[in-house]
């Protein structure tokens, strides 16, 4: 069965005033949907691959035939990366990390202020389009990093905990070229409970 677009866990206007409803509508309904449609189209010639989740395909791209591997990497990555982005946000969120993730951030980065500064730097210095990530290594430790375009941490053997999309379509209607401002307001929307769940129980 072809993949389906996961429902947003909140209304289109739920992230206002930080991210406007029109941006969410276009970002989710057009960009995210297009990546999904293109992934399904790429896999049409190999329907047996639909037995795997998108996560499984991205973890082991060698299982994907070479003729469609780049299309699956780019478009499947676009689907998965956006899934993590939307899941990691929510209304009435923000604040500071909770649970075991809070402890790990303190251990790794010293304090939340330092963590925020390093994370924003990863997003600000990503040249062109891409994402900044908080990911977990195989040994359980945390790292901040960024990826280009729709490259996915799963393909690097990492497990993503939290991400911010720094493609211009994520913020341009409201913030134009002010990526730094978008990165600073994004903290008001971070769903730390969900991030802690991914850190603690995600595989």
**Residue 118 sits in a domain of what CATH number?**
3.55.40.20
Q: Which residues lie closer than 8 Å to 93 by C-beta, 6 or more apart?
A: 188, 189, 190, 191, 192
Total domains present in the chain: 2
Q: What is the CATH number of the domain that holds 70?
A: 1.10.287.990
Mean per-residue pLDDT of the chain: 97
Beta bridge partners of 6: none
Give the span between the Cα atoms of 84 and 158, in whole angstroms. Answer: 14
Q: Which of 66, 87, 108 is the last residue of a domain?
A: 87
| pLDDT for 78 | 98
Residue 30 belongs to domain spanning: 21-87
Average pLDDT for 107-128: 97
Model confidence at 2: pLDDT above 90: yes
Residue 130, classified by CB atoms within 10 Å of its CB into exposed (0-12), middle (13-18) or buried (19+), is buried
pLDDT in tens, 138-154: 999 999 999 999 999 99
Model confidence at 155: pLDDT above 80: yes
Q: How far is CA 193 from CA 156, 197, 200, in A?
A: 25, 6, 10
Q: Are residues 133 and 191 in the same domain?
A: yes
Q: Are residues 103 and 66 in the same domain?
A: no
Sequence-ordered alpha helix ranges (H) in the chain = 21-26, 33-43, 54-59, 66-71, 77-87, 99-109, 112-124, 172-175, 179-186, 192-201
Q: Are residues 104 and 190 in the same domain?
A: yes
Q: Which of 38, 59, 87 is the last residue of a domain?
A: 87
Q: Are residues 45 and 108 in the same domain?
A: no
pLDDT in tens, 65-115: 999 999 999 999 999 999 999 999 999 999 999 999 999 999 999 999 999
Q: Are residues 177 and 114 in the same domain?
A: yes
């Amino acid at each position: 069965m072809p993949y389906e677009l996961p429902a947003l866990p909140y209304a289109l206007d739920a992230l206002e005033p930080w991210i406007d409803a029109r941006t969410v509508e276009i970002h989710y309904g057009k960009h995210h949907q297009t990546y999904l449609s293109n992934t399904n189209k790429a896999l049409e010639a190999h329907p047996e691959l639909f037995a795997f989740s998108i996560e499984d395909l991205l973890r082991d791209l060698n299982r994907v035939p070479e003729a469609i591997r780049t299309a699956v990497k780019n478009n499947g990555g676009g689907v998965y990366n956006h899934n993590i982005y939307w899941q990691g946000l929510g209304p009435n969120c923000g604040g500071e990390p909770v649970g075991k993730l809070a402890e790990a951030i303190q251990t790794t980065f010293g304090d939340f202020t330092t963590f925020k500064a390093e994370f924003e730097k990863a997003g600000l210095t990503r040249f062109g389009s891409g994402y900044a990530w908080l990911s977990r290594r195989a040994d359980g430790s945390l790292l901040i990093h960024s990826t280009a375009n729709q490259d996915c941490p799963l393909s690097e053997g990492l497990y993503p905990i939290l991400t911010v999309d720094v493609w211009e379509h994520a913020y341009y209607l409201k913030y134009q070229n002010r990526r730094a401002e978008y990165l600073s307001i994004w903290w008001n929307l971070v769903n730390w409970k969900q991030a802690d769940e991914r850190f603690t129980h995600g595989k």
